[in-house]
Amino acid sequence: MTTSNLKQTAKSVKPKINWARSEEVDSFAKTVKLFRQGKYDAASFRRFRLQHGAYGTRMTGDYAMVRIKLPAGEIYPHQLEKISQLSEQFSIGSAHFSTRENIQLHWIVLEDVSEIFRGLAEVGLTSREACGNSVRNVMCSPLSGVCPDEEFDATPYALATAKFFLRNPMTQNLPRKFKFNFTCCEKHGMVRMVDVGLIPQIREIDGETQRGFKIFLGGGLGNRSFVGHQLEDFTPDEDLLYTSIAVLRIFDRLGDRKNMARNRMRYLVNDMGWDKFQNLVLKERAIVRATQSVVTRLNVNHTPYEIKRPFRISDESGIPSSDGYARWLKTNTLKQKQSDYRSIFITLEAGDITSNQLNALASLTRDFSSEGHARAGFVQNIALRYVHEDDLPRLYSKLLETGLAKSGALTMTAPIGCSGTTSCNLALTNSHRLAKEIQRKFLELKLDEDDDLKDSSIKISGCPNSCGQHGIATIGFFGGGGRVGKDMYANYQMSLGGRSDGDTLLGQTCLRIPAKRVIPVILKIIEIFKQNKQSDDSLKTWMHRVVNNSEDSEIKSINDIKKVLEPLVIPPTKEDDPDFYLDYGSDSSYHTKTGKGECAA
Amino acid sequence: MCCLTDSSKITTDIDSLRSEIRDKSVRVIDVRRESDYKQDHISGAVNLPLATLLSDDSPERVLKLFNSMGIDDETSVVVYDDTFGALASRVAWTLEYIGHSDVSLLETTYGHWKSLGLENDSITPDIQNKTHSMNLQSDILATSEYLESAKSREDVILIDNRERLNFLEQHIPGAISLPYRTLSSSDKILRSKEDMKRLLDNRGITENSEIITYCGSVGTLSGLAYYALKSVGLTNAKLYVRSFKEWKNLQKPTEKQEDANYWDLSAE
């Protein structure tokens, strides 16, 4: 019984910050009762519910989705075990890793939501302000602290920012939701498509080094997406909080509270023009700096995490039985800047994980991560960091046992799919299942081993609202309905060439692809790319030239790709191919049906 | 209304059972498969695999079964299983149904008992037949006819104890979903009284109602729920022992959560 021995020796590391407030548990339970008794009006209740992180569910008011925030993506073994227990007791025996470092529990009976809060409070987690018009989970790159290209670790700043704004009166009634993303470096990205994006920077002045950030404002994905603008060359770390407060104050004051569909800050920036907005922020920051009545600063905890390789009593032979190991090592792990250590990524089908796997993940974190906790990633995945090179084969064997060893985590074969019609009121298609189907098919075809496809991405949203981040995918899709006569079918708008790194670009619209033709269409795109690529091209670099009209092969533009694909997307008659008219995961004819949105992510 | 069992003694804790075994003042029933029982079991326990009970659970037949286990009206009985108490609950409920008042569930599973290193062996005890009287407690049983007429009453709450996805897919109209997993804590088959009371109270399941529980087919998961209710003093409870399987076979109306692909959220 090696595992249980190991458990005793590997001590659980405790988190630095307790995010919970236990009094919110009972107040939520009480409010639900009042609402059910008709003593609390629906609009106020909805606002209260969202503020506490409980989101509505498709076609019903009796269930909620609870979105648990993992600030900076950090999650500790005992927290994973608690979430496992809660998912088994109150949800569907599975939990869902989102694209914004949250874990979601779906199909929770509204009256049980307070019990989820109680469980979360026991392990210092909260879902407070995970929905609603508030500062949403503060993200940080899963590689911050270990990325070879970063200038310093942004994690402590992300945690401090999250702590400062959580339950802060300043952020309780914003015009709309507000998002911070910290990252490690340009390559690992995600800073130009969010309200505030930050990349750590170090500058030297008179021989002294100073920490700071490159700050990007006003980006975001949604019904209309925009790329963020850089505020200034360098924002020193002591100005980080003042800048954040200044931006929030401007948004709070000038954000459009009337037009819900257009009141994210990116619309304000776009309507006002960047120069004017930039100017306002800089002025406001000066005012914030000058008028704080008490010293207001971020409480950045720089105490380093203890890095301690878990001790082993017995060492089994480290040679994995399957030849999948080499494939996994290549497509799921990255060398850290710390020698002898790697970060390993676990890919989940569209972010879904069973309660048993959550428990297993807790044990694996204790037994293999020298920092004693895990990090949620940007793409519905999980990273275990500080895994010693010598422990990788054993870890792989353990992952295999629990069904968490799927390869291709860092490749195009791990698509994002938002929750779609599995639970979301706004969804038009089952984007969630489509992502799973693509992953299964592409792993079967071993596309994860193809270096040409490695840095590309596939992202799918079930409606135009971009929770699946289709706009920054090499190949992105958002759901809608198509029609032949009176028969409808699930249909996706495809965009190409999106990216979220230093050259952030929103994908260009190409063509509508019926759900049941998505896989053949992607394979066709790969085929055209292979025919026309230059020797050192990846799909991403080739596509970048195509969308910028600077490719000089046979395929010169999106339009040329469209022409090749058009024959593939012609709807067959219902008699010839009845399956075409069914969405994935459904055996009844397709129709679009949506409820009221609550602005999900 | 059934008040035969003192609501404070729904479960027997580990220490009490150990001393009762030492005093030989208890009959312990192991509701696992015969092969598992033969390997090892709580010292002195007799075996009653659920399948044996279910092969014919008419009152006359189960009376004979319990007689052969040396149980008469005065015998104190503790039941356990390795299936989070669900199978044990079904056996305990059956005993109650024929009129036995002194029956309780071991607070934990056999697996946990064993992992604590507590008394177990592979000896099958010699049992002398005893004679139990028959005093059917029909008020703890719900039949489909009863359920159909009671369902529309305002003071009746119908609880479905299957997993959430099964409930969403299909359930008896008007039922509320309380999956069996919700009833337990990490090492006990039932939550603490305080936790259970709060959970049920949040759900509006209170003593003002008559409560009927059901599950998939044979009344095990819902048997556990029946005892969960009793553990907090909600004694006006009935088990729809033939459960959803019979309901569907009788082609009675069902309900589902429409227009959502919830199964695809499952990672199984």
What pLDDT is recorded for position A317? Answer: 55
A201 SS3 class? strand
End-of-domain residue from the set B110, B137, B164: B137
Burial class (CB in 10 A: 0-12, 13-18, 19+), A554: exposed
Q: Could you tell me where in chain A the CATH 3.30.70.3340 domains are found? A: 324-401
Condensed to tens digits (0 to 9), the pLDDT of residues A271-318 reads: 999 999 999 999 999 999 999 877 778 999 999 889 999 887 655 555
Q: Do B186 and A29 touch (CB under 8 A)?
A: no
In angstroms, the CA A515 to CA A408 distance is 23
In angstroms, the CA B268 to CA B254 distance is 25
B133 and B12 co-located in one domain: yes
Q: CA A535 → CA A452, A498, A524, A530, distances in Å?
A: 10, 22, 19, 10
Condensed to tens digits (0 to 9), the pLDDT of residues A159-174 reads: 999 999 999 999 999 9
Q: Is residue B1 part of a domain?
A: no
What pLDDT is recorded for position A258? Answer: 86
End-of-domain residue from the set B90, B110, B137: B137
Which positions in chain B touch A436 (Cβ < 8 Å)? 264
A46-75 exposure pattern, b = at least 16 Cβ within 10 A, e = fewer:
bebbbbbbbbbbbbbeebbbbbbbbbbbbb
Condensed to tens digits (0 to 9), the pLDDT of residues A310-327 reads: 887 655 555 666 779 999
> Quick one: DSSP state of residue A303?
P
Topology of A324-401 in CATH? Alpha-Beta Plaits (3.30.70)
* Confidence category of residue A600, pLDDT binned at 50, 70, 90: very low
Which positions in chain A touch B267 (Cβ < 8 Å)? 94, 348-349, 352-354, 357
B133 and B171 co-located in one domain: no
B186 and B99 co-located in one domain: no
* Chain mean position to CA A561: 29
Burial class (CB in 10 A: 0-12, 13-18, 19+), A597: middle
B127 and B36 co-located in one domain: yes
What pLDDT is recorded for position A599? Answer: 55
B77 and B185 co-located in one domain: no
B17 and B132 co-located in one domain: yes
Burial class (CB in 10 A: 0-12, 13-18, 19+), A7: middle
Q: Do B265 and A419 touch (CB under 8 A)?
A: yes
- What is the domain range of residue B227? 141-265
Q: Where are the alpha helices (DSSP H) in chain B?
A: 14-23, 34-39, 50-54, 59-68, 86-97, 110-115, 144-150, 164-169, 193-202, 221-231, 243-249
In angstroms, the CA A268 to CA B144 distance is 61
Q: Find where tokens 């495809």 sit.
A: A494
Q: Do A94 and B268 touch (CB under 8 A)?
A: yes
Return left, alpha or beta for A372; rule: phi > 0 is left, psi -120 to 50 is alpha, else beta.
left
**pTM to 2 decimal places:** 0.95
A380-393 exposure pattern, b = at least 16 Cβ within 10 A, e = fewer:
bbbbbbbbbeebbb
In angstroms, the CA A330 to CA A340 distance is 16
What pLDDT is recorded for position A321? Answer: 63
Size of chain A in residues: 601
Topology of A416-581 in CATH? Sulfite Reductase Hemoprotein; domain 1 (3.30.413)
Q: Is residue B120 part of a domain?
A: yes
What pLDDT is recorded for position A257? Answer: 87
B23 and B130 co-located in one domain: yes
Q: Is residue B47 part of a domain?
A: yes
What pLDDT is recorded for position B3? Answer: 43
CATH of the domain at B188: 3.40.250.10
Amino acid making up residue A152: F
Evaluate if residue A5 carries a pLDDT over 90: no
Q: Among partner residues B203, B204, B262, which is closest to A92 by beta-carbon distance?
A: B262
Q: Is residue B69 part of a domain?
A: yes
DSSP run (H or E) holding A277: helix A274-291
A513 SS3 class? strand
Q: CA A115 → CA A227, A332, A418, B162, distances in Å?
A: 40, 36, 26, 19
What pLDDT is recorded for position A295? Answer: 73
Return left, alpha or beta for A450; rule: phi > 0 is left, psi -120 to 50 is alpha, else beta.
beta
Number of domains in chain B: 2
CB B252 within 8 A of CB B144: yes
Whether the CB of A90 is below 8 Å from some CB of chain B: the reply is: yes
B197 and B222 co-located in one domain: yes
Interface of chain B toward chain A, CB-CB under 8 angstroms:
163-165, 168, 176-177, 179, 181-182, 184, 186, 198-199, 202-204, 257-268
Question: How distant is the Cα of B100 from the closest Cα of chain A, in angstroms?
Answer: 32
Mean pLDDT of A526-542: 97
Q: Is residue B11 part of a domain?
A: yes
Q: Could you tell me where in chain A the CATH 3.30.413.10 domains are found? A: 139-291, 416-581
Evaluate if residue A6 carries a pLDDT over 70: no
Q: Is residue B56 part of a domain?
A: yes
Q: Which residues contact A533 (CB under 8 A, 6 or more apart)?
A: A452, A539, A542, A553
**What is A139-291's CATH number, 3.40.50.620, 2.30.30.60, 1.20.1260.10, 3.30.413.10?**
3.30.413.10
- Which one of A58, A98, A107, A110 would you mutate to disrupt binding with B, by most B Cβ within 10 Å of its Cβ? A107
Amino acid making up residue A173: N
B47 and B62 co-located in one domain: yes
Q: Count the neighbouring beta carbons within 10 Å of the beta carbon of residue B21.
A: 18
What pLDDT is recorded for position A601? Answer: 36
Residues of chain B where predicted confidence (pLDDT) is lower than 50: 1-7
Residue (of A228, A226, A221) closest to A247 by Cα position: A228
What pLDDT is recorded for position A319? Answer: 64
Q: What is the DSSP string of A45-71?
A: HHHHHHHTTEEEETTEEEEEEEEEE-G
What pLDDT is recorded for position A593? Answer: 81
What pLDDT is recorded for position A512? Answer: 98
B69 and B187 co-located in one domain: no
Q: Do A107 and B203 touch (CB under 8 A)?
A: no
Size of chain B in residues: 268
Q: Is residue B2 part of a domain?
A: no
What pLDDT is recorded for position A261? Answer: 80
Q: What is the DSSP string of B24-50?
A: T--EEEE-S-HHHHHH-EETT-EE--H
DSSP run (H or E) holding A361: helix A355-368
Q: Where are the alpha helices (DSSP H) in A385-503?
A: 392-401, 431-444
Beta-bridge mates of residue A65: A55
Q: Considering chain B, what is the average pLDDT of its residues?
A: 95
Condensed to tens digits (0 to 9), the pLDDT of residues A409-421 reads: 999 999 999 999 9
Q: Is residue B132 part of a domain?
A: yes
Give me the sign of the Cα torsion angle A338, A342, A348, A353: negative
* Chain mean position to CA B205: 18
In angstroms, the CA A97 to CA A225 distance is 23
What pLDDT is recorded for position A154? Answer: 98
In angstroms, the CA B86 to CA B183 distance is 11
Q: What share of chain B is helix, strand, coil (3-state, %, to 5)?
A: 40, 15, 45
Q: What is the DSSP string of A304-356?
A: PPP--PPP-S-------SSTHHHHHHHHHEEE-SSTTEEEEEEE-GGGEEEHH
Give percent of chain A above pLDDT 90. 88
What is the value of ipTM here, to two decimals?
Answer: 0.93
Mean pLDDT of A147-151: 97
What pLDDT is recorded for position B4? Answer: 44
Condensed to tens digits (0 to 9), the pLDDT of residues A113-130 reads: 999 999 999 999 999 999
B22 and B123 co-located in one domain: yes
Return left, alpha or beta for B134; rule: phi > 0 is left, psi -120 to 50 is alpha, else beta.
beta
Q: Considering chain A, what is the average pLDDT of its residues?
A: 94
Condensed to tens digits (0 to 9), the pLDDT of residues B97-111 reads: 999 999 999 999 999
What pLDDT is recorded for position A186? Answer: 95
End-of-domain residue from the set B68, B102, B137: B137
CA dihedral A574, A580, A585, A590 (to 10 degrees): -50
